[in-house]
Every structure is written in structure tokens, then in C-alpha cells.
Amino acid sequence: MSSGGLEFLHNPSSVAVIGASDDPDKIGGRPIAFMQRFGYQGTIMPVNPSRATVQGLTAYPDVASLPSVPDAVIVALPGQAAVDAVDACAALGVKGGVVMASGFGETGRADDLARQQDLVARANSRGMRLVGPNSQGLANFGTGTILSFSTMFVEQEPLDGPIAIVSQSGAMASVPYGLLRRRGLGVRYVHGTGNDADLGVGDLAEAVLHDPDIRLVLLYLEDIRDPRALERAAALALERDVPIVAMMGGRSADGRRAASSHTGALANEQRVVDAFLARTGIWRARSLAGMVDTAALYLQDWRPRGRRLAIVSNSGAICVLGADAAADNDLELSTFAGETTEALATVLPAFATKANPVDITAALLTDSSLFSKVLPILAGDPEVDAAFIGIPVSGKGYDFPRFAADTAEFARRDNKPVVVAVPQETVAAEFRARGLVVFDDEATALTALGQYLHHRDLMANALANGPLHTRRPVSGQTEVLSEAAALSVLRDAGIPTVEVAVCSTAEEARAAFERFGDVPVAVKGCPNEATHKSELGLVRLGLTTVDAVADAADDLLRTMDALGLEAEGVLVSPMVSGITEGLIGAHVDPVFGPVVLVGAGGKYVEALDDVQALIPPFSAADARAAIGRLRIAPLLAGVRGEPPTDIEAWVSATLALSRLILADPAIQSVDVNPLMVGAAEGESAFGALAVDAVVERIA
């Protein structure tokens, strides 16, 4: 197995345990006991100045007394003693270590953070890499290298397998491990990274992905402070077709405060985190169930082609509940081909349902061959991408081993995803023995299947979109462009804008009004750097006479002068009334780089907070999907006789803004609110127009 440059932590030839304990239940004793129990083949060197032997092994009083330089060390000492031990190990030439001590950056205290920085600096200055501090440790059950003190390894006997867990929390490394083992699944890596002061979640995820036997990676995150490392891991996962499922704490304000006190994490903006994970092909699970319930599905050799689902049960109620659960998880019920329906009619009783869902009914009790007759018919239907089999009632009198064999043959025939719900354990065991993925109920089964299929789509989309842009904010003084200059930048980028006239006098404003054809206009002050014109009283809307326009221009010019604002003059532009007031925006995030926003616009934008984030580059389909996730999305199709909104024009403007923020390194942020979006057809079909804009760029 290969571990991507971290072999010294995953498969070291020797390990020193500094702060070793003779008690196998102590933090300094458990790693020794685990390695002896779980087959570690290298040399274990306990360091304890008070004992000649530790757990039957020769002990050494200090690092300098070790007979050879270990590949890896475990530091189970507190505070400054841990720093001094790392310093001694680095001087000796140790390649890597796990620091278990707490009381460092996670406390939030300046002196503790400084000690953490000193710890890392001492190690890195001599080429030593660290996991932690505040780390539960690393475990590799493929080699028996257990540099961890997790209690869960005592409670749940390890079994090597194709799953890796990497977590910023020790508990959230152990708990998924325990739940997976209870489900009979093997786990090779169980890593708790702690404070991520040196090697972090992304680094260790990338390392485990270099192991060709790993087929699923589970992550627990409390922040993303090194997105580049996580991007590299995600890119390798896509290259290898290995799914990554991540659960991230801190979605609520209270959760973010707890995360900060737990690992010293910095709160990332959650909508940007969601966009980043989706863009890299990582599925964000909202609960432990999303991590562990779906694990067995990811380990199948399926080749999913879509999300059209067939449901088969011997219960009408399960057919109904299954259809509901499918809808809840955005799975489409297949419409069977005509020949499929005809074939079903020849094998099912007259009173059984031949459409989807297929209710075999209680006739299964008297005719155990019904599954073997129905499933091959469905397997041959090109409209069926996946299947759910629900058997709520079986057992004595039913030939359920045959049902299991028939279902397994159906699953094997075309590598179609199949999930089964069987509440009776004796019956479920027959299905599991055939390699099928079995759940207790239809809701859990179809939630897991929905996640699996949507995640596969997400991975394919991330692969198609290619690598992310690595640009970061540019240091230097910035300037906010005037509205006229901002609109000019947008026009040059291919974003349609409202026509404007910059007027330095009331007479010029009169002439602009007449040139626009006496239509209602807006007159706005155009100061060089003021962005909130409404709050400054610099906006007049819906003016319909030449005198009103001239008076407004005069008033605004005097107001800006009184406020001491340097200005180009006033802007006069035709009033634009769209079907929808949207917004588009972009900024360079200090962590994630360029981010594009799309959402509901207008004066209530802050109150509504109806915005989706995208990480460029992205496709038109991605932008369209983001608009479709807005809370206002149901209104965009047109209600009560209104025409539908021109979503494609909105998408086009979003893509143009994406290209702009990627292409111009001087631009730091762009806000377009409102983006007036017209109707998709008819009299008000004018596309999308930026009618107000703010652009911040490096001066």
C-alpha cells in the first residue's frame, strides 16, 4: 500500500512512545497495547524515565537514549514538555509525530496559540511533520500502526477494510468507526487530526487516497483553513473514482462557537463551504446517518446511469411509502416501457399492480416464483436505472432465500443500484448474505440511495468542470468605482446594463431625459466612492417630466457638494421594470478564492438572504441549478398569469461575471443589485439588465 509521502506515519518501521505508560488503559499506554494486539510488525520503543520496562518492552529514560532514530513518535506529554519532546525528536531526525496533548491553540488563548506555533516551527525547521496537537491519533489497521488512544478500538474489534475516516475531532473519528463496524464494514484508517496545526485533514485525506485499496473516505470538519490540501485530495479522489463524504459542524451560530472552542477552528461562511465541497465533488452529509447509512452503497460495483427508480413490494402500503420517500429524495419513478407492462401482466395475478410501483401482493405467499418472474422483466427495461425492493412481511411460509437470490441476480445482471428494506432480521440476513444492501425501512433505504445517486452526479459534474482557480485576494489599497465606471466594467465583460447618461449639470440631465424619449427615468448621484446612495438621499425614481429631472439633478448635485463627496455628476437612466429582481455578485474569498453569488435582489436582499454560492469555473447547468435552489424559484415559472422569468438571461449574466472575476486580478468584489430580469417571452422579454452596480478593485 502507498500513503502518498506519509509512510512514516502509516507504516513506520519503528515507533517511540514518549510518555509511555505500563497501564494499557492510559493515554500513553493504549497505543502500545493496540500495536501489540493488532499486529504491528515494527519496533516499539517506550520512553519513560521511571520504568525499565513498559508492557513487557524495554523502556528508555529519554529520547537521546533511544537505540535508533524512530520513523514516528507519539508524544503523550502535557504542555511545554510536549514542545520540548518534539524539539528533541526533530533534532534526532524523526520524520513524523502525533502530539496528543491538549491546551494549545484550541483554547483560544494567545499564549497557548503561541506555544502551538512554536511546537510546529521547531518540528518543521528540521523536516519533521506533526499531527495535532490535541489529537486522538492515527490508526492504520492495514499495518497495525495504531498511534491512537481511542476507546472505540476496545469496544468494537477492528476489521481491515476499504474505508478511511479522517476527522478534526477524535470522537467523530471513533463514532463513525464504531457504527460502521456494527454494520459489519471494515475500516482501514481512523485518523483524528486535532488542531491541524501542521498536517491537516486535507493532507491526511490525500495520503489515504494514495492507498489503492481505499474505496470510500469519510471526513469530519469543523473548519476548512487549507482548502488547497482538500482540493488536492478531492482531485485525487475524482481521478480514482473514490467518493468523499464530509460532515461539517458549525452550520448554526451556536455550532460555530462550539467548533471554535473545540479545535480552534475559524468559522467559514457556510454557503461558500457548501459551494466549495460541491464544486470539488465532496458530498456534505448533514448527519451521521448520511455518513454511515450510505457507506455500503459506495462499496458496490454499480454503474449508475440515472435516477429513475422502480419499486417492487408485496405490500401496497410500502409501495405508497416508497413512492413518497423517492419524491423526498428527488428520485423519479420510472415509467415502464409498454413491453414491460405487457410482460408484467402475463406473470402477475390479475389483481396485482403492473405499473410502477409494482405491488406483487400477498400472492407471494402462495407463489414464491413471483420475484424471479418480475425482476428480470424490470432488469431489461431501459427506463429503470435503480430499484427498491420492500418486503415488510415474510418469514415462515415464504421462500425468502429464493427472494434474496432473485434480487441478487437482478442486481448483478446490469450493475444497477438496488436497495432492500426488510425489517425481519432472519429474512434480512439472507439478503445480506447475497451481498445486497439492506435497511430496516423504505425511508432510510431511499434516503441512502438518493444520496448515493446524487453524489455520483456531483462527482461527474466536478470532474467535467475541471480544477478550481487558485487566485487569492491581492494585498494593496482598493477603490470603489463610481456607478458609471462600474457599469462600464460590466458592459465590457459582456453583462448587459441599463443605458445611462452621466450629467454634470441640470441642463445635461434635461437633454438626457429628452434623448431617452420622455420615458420615466431614475436620477442618481454618482459619487466616486459612495456605495449606499439610497441611505444618503441620492436616488430619485420614476421621474416623468423634464422639469422634475432638472430639479432632481440640481438637488442631488447640491447634496453631494454639501456632503463633501467628489462626484462625476448625476446618472440619468430609463426606469426598468423586470419580472424578477435578482442579484449577481462576486468576491475573492480569503480562504476559497473567487466566489460567485446569485440570488433574490431588491431592497430586501439582506432580510431575505436568499442567495446561492458557486465556485468558478462552473457551467450554465450549475448556474441554472443554483437559481433553481432559491426560495423564490417557484415564482420564476410565472404565477397568476405572470409570464415566466428569463432564467437563461440570468444564467448568461452569471457566467459572464464568473469569467470577469477569474480574468481580472485587480477586481476584488462586484455587486449587481438589482439585476432586472425580464420575461422569457412576450412584451417584457428584454433579457437581464444590471441597473445598479458596485465594483471594488485594487487602486
Structural domain contains residue 491: no
Is there a domain that residue 556 lies in?
Answer: yes
Task: Read off the amino acid at residue 668.
Answer: Q
Residue pair 314/362 in contact (Cβ under 8 Å)? The answer is yes
Same domain assignment for residues 129 and 273 = yes
Same-domain pairing of 275 and 348: no
Rounded to whole angstroms, the Cα distance separating 73 from 361 reads: 63
Instruction: Give me the pLDDT at residue 1, please.
Output: 42
- The segments of the chain whose pLDDT lies below 70 read 1-4, 250-268, 471-474, 530-531
C-alpha–C-alpha distance, residues 181 and 185, integer Å: 5
Angle at 308 between CA 303 and CA 309, to 5 degrees: 95
Cα–Cα distance between 482 and 608 in angstroms, integer? 27
Query: Do 388 and 342 belong to one domain?
Result: yes
Residue 190 is assigned to a structural domain of this protein: yes
CATH of residue 366:
3.40.50.261
* Cβ–Cβ under 8 Å, residues 571 and 488: no
Peptide bond into 357 cis (omega under 30): yes
Which CATH number covers residue 632?
Answer: 3.30.470.20
Residue 545 sits in a domain of what CATH number?
3.30.1490.20
**Coil, strand, or helix at residue 445?**
helix
Model pLDDT for residues 193-235, shown as the tens digit of each residue: 999 999 999 999 999 999 999 999 999 999 898 899 999 999 9
For residue 217, the surrounding DSSP H or E stretch is strand 216-221
Amino acid at 487: L
Instruction: Based on the fold, state whether residues 541 and 651 are members of the same structural domain.
Output: no
Considering the domain boundaries, does residue 511 fall inside one?
yes
Q: Are 548 and 653 in a shared domain?
A: no
Report CA Rg, the chain.
31
For the stretch 588-610, pLDDT in tens is 998 899 999 999 998 888 888 89
Which residue in this structure is represented by grid cell 472575476?
661
Residue 487 within a domain? no
| Half-sphere exposure for 221 (CA within 13 Å, toward CB) | 32
**Do residue 84 and residue 100 come from a single domain?**
yes
Q: Are residues 357 and 429 in the same domain?
A: yes
Buried b (16+ CB within 10 A) or exposed e, 124-154: eeeebbbbbbbbbbbbbbbbbbbbbbbebbe
Q: What angle do CA 164, 168, 172 make, to 5 degrees?
A: 65
Confidence (pLDDT) at 341: 92
Structural domain count of the chain: 4
Q: Whole-prediction pTM value?
A: 0.90
Cβ-contact 166, 130 below 8 angstroms: no
The answer to whether residues 250 and 101 belong to one domain is: yes
Domain, as residue range, for 416: 300-465
